[in-house]
Amino acid sequence: MSTPIKNRYDFVLVFDVKDGNPNGDPDAGNLPRIDAESGQGIVTDVCLKRKVRNFVQMTQDSAKGFDIFVKEKAVLNKLIANAYQNLGTDLEKPPVDEKDGKKRNTKGEGQGKEVDKARLQMCGTYFDIRTFGAVMSTGANAGQVRGPVQMTFGRSVDPVVTSEFSITRCAVATEAEAEKQSGDNRTMGRKNTVPYGVYVAHGFVSAHLANQTGFTEADLDLLWDALANMFEHDRSAARGLMSTQKLVIFKHDSALGNAPAHQLFGRVTLKRKDESKPARDFADYAFAINRDGLPAGVTIIEKP
Q: What is the mean pLDDT of residues 111-131?
A: 97
Residue 83 CA to residue 120 CA, distance in Å, equals 9
Q: What is the mean pLDDT of residues 246-273?
A: 97
pLDDT in tens, 204-230: 999 999 999 999 999 999 999 999 999
Q: Percent of the chain beyond pLDDT 90? A: 89
pLDDT in tens, 22-57: 999 999 989 999 999 999 999 999 999 999 999 999
The model's pTM? 0.93
Give the model's confidence band at 182: pLDDT under 50 very low, under 70 low, under 90 confident, else very high. Answer: confident
Give the model's confidence band at 126: pLDDT under 50 very low, under 70 low, under 90 confident, else very high. Answer: very high
Query: Is residue 245 a contact partner of residue 15, using CB atoms and an 8 Å limit?
Result: yes
Task: Give residue 225's pLDDT.
Answer: 98
* pLDDT at residue 83 tops 70: yes
Higher confidence at residue 84 or residue 170? 84
Task: Give residue 1's pLDDT.
Answer: 53
Residue among 30, 27, 74, 29 at smallest CA distance from 50: 74
Task: Give residue 188's pLDDT.
Answer: 85
Report the chain's mean pLDDT, rounded to a whole number.
Answer: 95
Q: What are phi and psi of 251, to 5 degrees?
A: -100, 125
Give the model's confidence band at 181: pLDDT under 50 very low, under 70 low, under 90 confident, else very high. Answer: confident
Give the model's confidence band at 203: pLDDT under 50 very low, under 70 low, under 90 confident, else very high. Answer: very high
